């Protein structure tokens, strides 16, 4: 990852990492460098952040691109304590840069966020596995207040759209629907901040992955008003449902060739939008347990031509 991307040292990780109907592709629990097995204090998190930004190489990169990307792999207002958020705001404002981070769209939905907090607290926040409904409601209120008052013009909040199809969102166990993403993007933009959309290319068991990725990018830009769209190539991560499906031949990741062409065709359609892509070199994965394999230059040319054809149909 680029050195302006910061992974907070944290304990309150997204509840979907664990086996409570969670996302089929998420392997965040394996990231030992930033997931603590025991609770961490606000000061520990602040020291971890300071160590990152005080590294000259990291700071130079942050200042060069004019932003810091805080990769919460969940929700900024849920997983990052207020004291830590305020510390990071001061750093951002002092250096006159943008703060890019992430939120699940359910953070503004009272019923859904309380349900997610209950799962989270049962797993991670208590020793006896219980928290009273009053405590949960108070947590929810603190989150609502934070997202309502802390959003600023220098903030760009990504949300994991992944695939713009309600049936597919259920298949990958995302725990939200398109209405959540629309409401969240309107909420954020109304308060002066910017919206970003993460697009996952080829999640497990999603049919027509190339077409779905292009449609999702279009939804993010045109419907959500996302200033930036970030593509990610979905690969089989150890310990995930996706990895098991890949090993059994039930899921085949989209090739790097197709992923790069999806990005290129989207950029051609939306030249004024900020687009980025994380290109995992997944030819070694593609077809390991299932056909077809994309290896030769001829196969790559055909794959690119197919993406271009689908893009023309999707984008018009």
One digit per residue, the tens of pLDDT, for the chain of length 316 reads 557 899 898 877 665 444 444 677 766 666 667 777 788 899 999 999 999 999 999 999 999 999 999 988 778 998 899 999 999 999 999 999 999 999 999 999 888 888 777 766 654 444 454 557 777 778 888 888 999 999 999 999 999 999 999 999 998 888 899 999 999 999 999 999 999 999 999 998 899 999 999 999 999 999 999 999 999 888 887 777 788 888 888 888 888 889 999 999 999 999 999 999 976 554 444 445 455 566 788 888 999 999 999 999 999 8
**Sign of the CA dihedral running 245, 217, 162, 111:** negative
CA angle 103, 107, 112 (to 5 degrees): 130
pLDDT at 32: 67
pLDDT at 15: 54
pLDDT at 121: 62
pLDDT at 286: 46
pLDDT at 22: 62
pLDDT at 124: 46
Give, in order, the Cα–Cα distances in Å from 274 to each of 97, 229, 236, 271: 16, 6, 27, 8
Tell me the backbone φ, ψ of residue 304, rounded to 5 degrees. -65, -40
pLDDT at 247: 81
Q: What is the value of pTM for the model shown?
A: 0.88
């Amino acid at each position: 990852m680029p050195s302006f991307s910061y992974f907070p040292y944290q304990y309150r990780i997204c509840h979907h990492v664990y086996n409570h109907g969670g996302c089929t592709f998420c392997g965040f629990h394996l990231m030992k460098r930033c997931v603590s097995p025991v609770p961490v204090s606000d000061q520990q998190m602040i020291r971890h952040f300071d160590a990152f930004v005080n590294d000259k190489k990291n700071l130079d990169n942050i200042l060069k691109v004019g932003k810091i990307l805080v990769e919460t792999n969940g929700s900024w207002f849920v997983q990052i304590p207020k004291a830590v958020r305020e510390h990071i705001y001061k750093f951002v404002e002092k250096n006159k840069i943008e703060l890019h981070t992430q939120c699940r769209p359910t953070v503004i939905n009272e019923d859904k966020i309380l349900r997610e907090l209950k799962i989270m607290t049962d797993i991670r926040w208590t020793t006896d596995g219980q928290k009273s409904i009053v405590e949960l409601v108070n947590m929810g209120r603190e989150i609502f207040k934070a997202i309502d008052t802390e959003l600023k013009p220098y903030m760009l909040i990504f949300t994991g759209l992944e695939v713009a199809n309600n049936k597919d969102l259920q298949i990958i166990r995302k725990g939200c629907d398109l209405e959540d993403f629309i409401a969240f993007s309107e909420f954020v933009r109304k308060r002066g901040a910017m919206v970003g959309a993460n697009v996952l290319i080829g999640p497990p068991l999603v049919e027509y992955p190339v077409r779905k990725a292009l449609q999702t990018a279009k939804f993010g830009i045109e419907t959500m008003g996302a200033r930036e769209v970030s593509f990610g190539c979905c690969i089989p991560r150890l310990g995930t449902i996706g990895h098991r499906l890949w090993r059994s031949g039930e899921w085949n990741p989209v090739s790097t060739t197709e992923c790069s062409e999806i990005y290129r065709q989207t950029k051609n359609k939306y030249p004024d939008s900020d687009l980025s892509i994380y290109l995992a070199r997944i030819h070694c994965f593609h077809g390991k347990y299932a056909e077809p394999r994309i290896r030769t230059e001829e196969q790559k040319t055909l794959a690119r031509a197919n993406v271009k054809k689908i893009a023309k149909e999707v984008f018009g």
